[in-house]
Chain A
Amino acid sequence: MSTVATDYTLAELCIVAAAEAFRHDGEVLATGIGVIPRLAASLAMKTFNPDLMMTDSESFMLSEPNPLGKRPADFQQANESWMGFSRIFDNVWSGKRHAMLGPTQIDRFGQTNTSALGGTYQQPKVMMLGARGFPGNSICHANSFFVPGHNTRIFMDGECDFVSSIGYNPARVPRGRALDDVDIRRVITNLCVMDFGGPDHQIRLLSLHPGVTVDEVQENTAYPVVVPASVPTTPAPTVEQLAIIAALDPHNQRAAQIADNPPGIRA
């Protein structure tokens, strides 16, 4: 039997909520970019979805997720195959992947921006990374998003300054394809869990973290959030899940992911 924890951080709550995104994936490559998404994918692989595949974030596929950060000198990772970048693209294009990432903007269509903010395209005000692999990820396989600071700059008004990933924008549906071909799964933030399962693929509230209100989520989202008649509280981690998370993150990098590392249950 599992025991529900009473003492946990918001980061740990988010890891457990984000792990749920991978529960029914079957045998796909789970790519969590950033500490919380990586721990979420690792937790899912170590518990309810052992069929998940994972890399060492460098060039090998692992049969067992690596702990984060510096590891003991005698640590041997559980390689199961080579998985260099060129092979990652073969996997992406096959569709057998679910990535969880943290874009800088997410608009009402679920389109995201990783490239540039403001100004003109020729001369942006703030240049970021570039489109990276988002165009390919978004049209080839499932994607989820993690947002450590839910606010109206990320969940912004209008359309993304640069659309890195395809979403549910009717004006951008490619000929011969349908909006339903796009597969955005979960959006996990420091306030709540959402998806794009509302009418016409609008963003929809799935659960609120302990102590968070519907109003708080709406105030921090620049477009309407569809709110079902009853919204559950995001389930607390179990004691067993917290132990697995602690073993996967021995240097407690998760404590530095959400501002001030607040407790999961608001004081």
Chain B
Amino acid sequence: MDKRLSARDAVAQIEDGMTVGIGGWGPRRKPMALVREILRSDVKDLTVVSYGGADVGLLCAAGKVKKLVFAFVSLDFIPLEPYFRQARQSGAIEVMEIDEGMMLLGLRAAAWGVPFIPTEVGLGTDVLTHNPDIKLIDSPYDDKEWVAMPALKLDVSLIHVDRADFRGVCQIAGPDHYLDDWFARAAKNTIVSCDELVDTSFFADPARAREVFWERSATSAVVEIPGGAHPSSCSPLYGFDVAHFKAYTASAKEGGIEGYLEKYLGADEAEYQRNVGGLEAIRALALPTY
């Protein structure tokens, strides 16, 4: 089955009001080119589930987000995400604020087809106070109360990987696949962008096959977008773009999202990449040291 699509056709599958999961973590391996394609589209009223970075900030600033399911939104080296803050501080979005691990459990529950997973995480905190829809339950095996973390069912997931073949076998060669396997499994429709489209024989090497974290049946569409994680990182191919994130953050104080999008977004990814210095420059971005 050939799952290759253009970014525009892939993102056209997202409808108003859908729940969209976004892979990666903070400023790391975010499917930013697919996010930008959403910014170029008319889709709206999304519920976004993400270990958030600029993906969330941009979608909030562009008015695409009705509700955000999050544990944090941060650019790490710039701890506070500027456009997410604006969205929260202006009361523009509904939120479901949960613990990082609760999000993982919610994705697992969705992936496994169970309505919830019991956990003690969240007890005693305002994660429960502000989420009356998250119920506490009795255990049939002890006398404690437990949080019933509900399944976070996703209509669509967006994920960026290093390499994929035309059938949706995806390689993540970097040091961490984060929770991307669960985003892929929790969604009805998983759209993957890849830095490089490879022949299926690429995966014959067992070391490469071990860098595949979900089977191809969990991938619905493959979009080849070299540099598609920019300005987030796609280690080991490129690091995150510190200068760009600084300019992005500064834009929230001066010029606003309109100024930022005017300067960078472009009509398509080729124009975006020209606006940020080109693919060669992206591929030359140094890997971060932690």
Contacts and interface: CB of A to CB of B under 8 A. Distances in A.
B101 A93 contact: yes
Contacts of A162: 126
Contacts of B80: 127-129
A131 B98 contact: yes
A58 B178 CA distance: 10
B144 A177 contact: yes
B71 A58 contact: no
Given A85-B176, A129-B79, A177-B123, A71 B289 contact: yes
Contacts of B71: 130-133
A138 B125 contact: yes
A172 interface: yes
B95 to A, nearest CB: 8
A139 interface: yes
A127 B89 CA distance: 6
B268 interface: no
A172 B123 CA distance: 8
Contacts of A128: 80
A165 B101 CA distance: 13
B99 A58 contact: no
A136 B102 contact: yes
A116 B88 contact: yes
A60 interface: yes
A19 B50 CA distance: 34
The secondary-structure label for the interface of chain A is loop
A258 interface: no
Interface string B158-182: 0000000000000000011111011
B25 A85 contact: yes
A266 interface: no
Nearest to A114: B72
B145 interface: yes
B183 to A, nearest CB: 11
A240 to B, nearest CB: 27
A176 B127 contact: no
Contacts of A165: 125
A123 B89 contact: yes
Given A92-B101, A136-B100, A172 B124 contact: yes
A174 interface: yes
A175 B80 CA distance: 35
A174 B124 contact: yes
A139 B121 contact: yes
Contacts of B99: 131-136
A4 B224 CA distance: 61
Contacts of A182: 124
Interface residues of A, number: 53
A84 B101 contact: no
B8 interface: no
A60 B102 CA distance: 23
B277 interface: no
Contacts of B119: 93
A121 interface: yes
Contact of A123 (B73, B74, B90, B101): B90
Interface string A164-205: 111101001111110000100000000000000000000000
Nearest to B68: A130
A218 interface: no
Given A86-B104, A86-B178, A132-B71, A163 B143 contact: no
Nearest to A162: B126
B142 interface: yes
Interface in A144-160: none
Contacts of A63: none
B254 to A, nearest CB: 20
Contact of B145 (A71, A93, A123, A175): A175
A131 B104 CA distance: 14
Interface string A99-125: 000000000000100011001111111
B289 A129 contact: no
A135 B145 CA distance: 16
A257 B84 CA distance: 27
A163 B72 contact: no
Nearest to B86: A127
A164 B145 contact: no
A41 B49 CA distance: 33
A259 interface: no
Contacts of B101: 89, 92-93, 133, 136
Interface in B64-117: 70-74, 79-80, 84-85, 88-91, 97-102, 104
A60 B72 CA distance: 22
Nearest to B130: A121
B121 A123 contact: no
A84 B175 contact: yes
B217 to A, nearest CB: 20
A176 B142 contact: yes
A89 B104 contact: yes
Given A58-B175, A59-B176, A131-B99, 4 more contacts: A57-B290, A126-B89, A130-B70, A135-B122
User: Closest 10 A-B residue pairs measured CB to CB?
Assistant: A176-B144, A166-B124, A123-B91, A59-B175, A127-B88, A57-B290, A135-B99, A130-B72, A59-B176, A84-B176
